Chains A and B, each alone.
Chain A
């Protein structure tokens, strides 16, 4: 603690703050200006901003632990999610994704392990006021219309009535449901239900939002809009924690992902690090491909031919440069050279298959 105090009371801290602001402005919506008069509060908030938003430490959940049919839904899962991240939790059906979110929100209780959300213990009411949640297969009161649903959940969130009415207008506009606000929920299509669910989750301007299959039942155009909305939230500093079966979508939006399998966390990392295929590079060129075919075979390189185009996979960057020199010397035009990547889906399937063996 003394180290912190001496650090913040030294003259260096304004420069550090400037740097921190630059870094966070892109990601944090509600960057607060902390005048010197509220220095202690600032110090506290700065520390809060540096803390991970979600921390899970050895979370384990066993349903009916004393029965013969005990189900270990989650097994010693530890992970952290930083502020302003889009974090994707992947896994096959029954892998424990929804259970994990339920533990974080206090909907279910861990058998062992602990965790925090926004620095508060799991299920803490104070933290829930700053959380948004869109559950999978949500069931809203069918007798209410979109606006009434938002009003009901807004009141439960503790929003003051004037602010609530403003927020209802804003979120309905955000999810494109303004013209359906007076229509009963039971008359909504699946996509519209999902949009209202999303609006409900956004109502309290959450600092962290949990989305369980957010694009479920939504058409491609709607999915694109939801993706853009999620990215917009991230840009405003909201931490987004999402579960989805649609791996291509998770790949498009997530900063980091984790894979759960049979309740265990088997992989975790940035999308780019997980989808990177070692040091392999891929060179695309066109021209007289026959002139290089023999040389490539001699170098034991894999390649695909498509009329006058050739795609060559090389083991590393050095070899990629040699090959590109060779191609140029034979008069071929290089169209592109990039580090080879798997899709997240390929990676996911491979990992799950490896684990299942």
Chain B
């Protein structure tokens, strides 16, 4: 009951701030455009399929075409959704910790762990529903237009939400320790755009800087310890393409998120407000 009240309030807060409404509106605009294209374009699926046979690697040309489209859409959505979600949720914890607001929450018979869990679940649910709505809409349009129905694209909602969760835990940590949403956004974007791709392709970029074993060891340790949103996007592609999945980025990112969440909880429990 108390946890539900906090989750509900977190969702209301996000709706009131309009950022999530903006996210939802963008999703709708894209879906409408895609629907219009699907309904009125002269796109002839049979003509397009003729040239694809040589690239199909055993799969049917229709499958190859649809999955390639879905991979492209999913990758665009992956970055856009995480960008917007970080922006929309970064202020949840700092707002909660504002003087006069946190005092009231803590004065109620609700534990600090429930408050943090409520904020975490609330933020995650908002992003999950937004992403799920967009993915479902896009899947329906593509499937109706092409006549090829495959559930792989629908599953991309999970890697996208998972990547967001990992970064959201980081935002909660920054929020609890510094009460700054701006710092959280900067660091999360920096990690997502710079650090994560560099570490994922460390053999190409980072190993070239030095041949020192110690240096490379540090880079490797960083890669394995830190979350891997870049690798998770590759997993998402594999889910759509029904390819084999390397689960290491998932569990190592989950361990990072779990440990960081626990540490954030520890700090939050001991903090004076």
Interface residue ranges, A against B (CB under 8 Å): 63, 102, 105-109, 125-126, 128-129, 131, 133, 135-144, 152-153, 155-158, 200, 210
Contact for A141 among B12, B108, B110, B270, CB less than 8 A: B12
**A135, B108: Cβ atoms closer than 8 Å:** no
Which chain B residues numbered 1 to 58 have a C-beta less than 8 Å away from chain A? 1-2, 4-6, 8-9, 12-13, 15-16
Check: B217 CB closer than 8 A to any chain A CB: no
Q: Kindly list chain B residues whose C-beta atoms are within 8 Å of the C-beta of A200.
A: 104
Total interface residues on B, using CB and 8 Å?
28
**B109, A152: Cβ atoms closer than 8 Å:** no
**B272, A156: Cβ atoms closer than 8 Å:** no
**A143, B110: Cβ atoms closer than 8 Å:** no
**A102, B273: Cβ atoms closer than 8 Å:** yes
Q: How far is the CA of A305 from the CA of B135 in the complex (A)?
A: 90
Q: Tell me, rounded to whole Å, the shortest Cβ–Cβ distance linking B22 to chain A.
A: 16
Q: Tell me, rounded to whole Å, the shortest Cβ–Cβ distance linking B133 to chain A.
A: 22
Closest to A109 in B: B272
Q: Given A107-B272, A109-B272, A137-B99, A129–B109 Cβ distance below 8 Å?
A: yes
Closest to B15 in A: A143
Q: Kindly list chain A residues whose C-beta atoms are within 8 Å of the C-beta of B101.
A: 138-140
**B103, A156: Cβ atoms closer than 8 Å:** no
**A138, B13: Cβ atoms closer than 8 Å:** no
**B270, A109: Cβ atoms closer than 8 Å:** yes
Q: Tell me, rounded to whole Å, the shortest Cβ–Cβ distance linking A293 to chain B.
A: 59
Closest to A130 in B: B109
Check: B121 CB closer than 8 A to any chain A CB: no
Q: How far is the CA of A142 from the CA of B15 in the complex (A)?
A: 12
Can you name 26 A-B residue pairings with CB atoms under 8 Å? A106-B106, A107-B103, A107-B106, A109-B270, A126-B109, A128-B107, A128-B109, A131-B107, A133-B103, A133-B107, A137-B100, A138-B101, A139-B99, A140-B104, A141-B9, A141-B12, A141-B13, A143-B15, A153-B104, A155-B1, A155-B5, A156-B110, A157-B109, A158-B2, A158-B109, A200-B104
Q: Kindly list chain A residues whose C-beta atoms are within 8 Å of the C-beta of B255.
A: none
The 8 closest A-B pairs by CB, nearest first: A143-B16, A139-B100, A155-B5, A108-B272, A133-B107, A128-B109, A156-B108, A129-B109
Q: How far is the CA of A106 from the CA of B103 in the complex (A)?
A: 9
Closest to A110 in B: B272
Check: B98 CB closer than 8 A to any chain A CB: yes
**B106, A105: Cβ atoms closer than 8 Å:** yes
Q: How far is the CA of A100 from the CA of B9 in the complex (A)?
A: 29
Check: B125 CB closer than 8 A to any chain A CB: no
Contact for B5 among A63, A106, A131, A156, CB less than 8 A: A156
Check: B111 CB closer than 8 A to any chain A CB: yes
**A138, B12: Cβ atoms closer than 8 Å:** no
Q: Kindly list chain B residues whose C-beta atoms are within 8 Å of the C-beta of A136.
A: 100
Task: Please encode chain B, from 176 to 210, with 1 for each CB lying within 8 Å of some chain A CB and 0 for all others.
Answer: 00000000000000000000000000000000000
Q: Tell me, rounded to whole Å, the shortest Cβ–Cβ distance linking A98 to chain B.
A: 9
**A156, B109: Cβ atoms closer than 8 Å:** yes
Contact for B111 among A125, A135, A143, A155, CB less than 8 A: A125
**A125, B110: Cβ atoms closer than 8 Å:** yes
Q: Kindly list chain A residues whose C-beta atoms are within 8 Å of the C-beta of B9.
A: 141, 152
Q: Given A129-B109, A138-B104, A157-B109, A107–B273 Cβ distance below 8 Å?
A: yes
Q: How far is the CA of A133 from the CA of B107 in the complex (A)?
A: 7
Q: Kindly list chain A residues whose C-beta atoms are within 8 Å of the C-beta of B140.
A: none
**B12, A143: Cβ atoms closer than 8 Å:** yes
**A135, B103: Cβ atoms closer than 8 Å:** yes
Q: How far is the CA of A99 from the CA of B190 in the complex (A)?
A: 38
Q: Kindly list chain A residues whose C-beta atoms are within 8 Å of the C-beta of B2.
A: 155-156, 158
**A133, B272: Cβ atoms closer than 8 Å:** no
Q: Kindly list chain B residues whose C-beta atoms are within 8 Å of the C-beta of A140.
A: 101, 104
Q: Kindly list chain B residues whose C-beta atoms are within 8 Å of the C-beta of A102.
A: 103, 272-273
Q: How far is the CA of A245 from the CA of B253 in the complex (A)?
A: 52
Q: Given A125-B109, A152-B5, A133–B13 Cβ distance below 8 Å?
A: no
Check: B254 CB closer than 8 A to any chain A CB: no
Q: Tell me, rounded to whole Å, the shortest Cβ–Cβ distance linking A211 to chain B.
A: 12
Q: Tell me, rounded to whole Å, the shortest Cβ–Cβ distance linking A158 to chain B.
A: 6
Q: Kindly list chain A residues whose C-beta atoms are within 8 Å of the C-beta of B102.
A: 107
Closest to B5 in A: A155
Q: Tell me, rounded to whole Å, the shortest Cβ–Cβ distance linking B9 to chain A.
A: 6
Which chain B residues numbered 229 to 273 have a C-beta less than 8 Å away from chain A? 270, 272-273
Q: How far is the CA of A128 from the CA of B2 in the complex (A)?
A: 14
Q: How far is the CA of A343 from the CA of B250 in the complex (A)?
A: 70
**A158, B104: Cβ atoms closer than 8 Å:** no
Task: Please encode chain B, from 92 to 133, with 1 for each CB lying within 8 Å of some chain A CB and 0 for all others.
Answer: 000000111111111111110000000000000000000000
Q: Kindly list chain B residues whose C-beta atoms are within 8 Å of the C-beta of A152.
A: 5, 8-9
**A135, B107: Cβ atoms closer than 8 Å:** yes
Q: How far is the CA of A102 from the CA of B109 in the complex (A)?
A: 14
Contact for B107 among A107, A139, A155, CB less than 8 A: A107
Closest to A184 in B: B16
Q: How far is the CA of A131 from the CA of B105 in the complex (A)?
A: 13
Q: Kindly list chain B residues whose C-beta atoms are within 8 Å of the C-beta of A138.
A: 100-101, 103-104
Q: How far is the CA of A105 from the CA of B104 in the complex (A)?
A: 10
Q: How far is the CA of A128 from the CA of B107 in the complex (A)?
A: 7
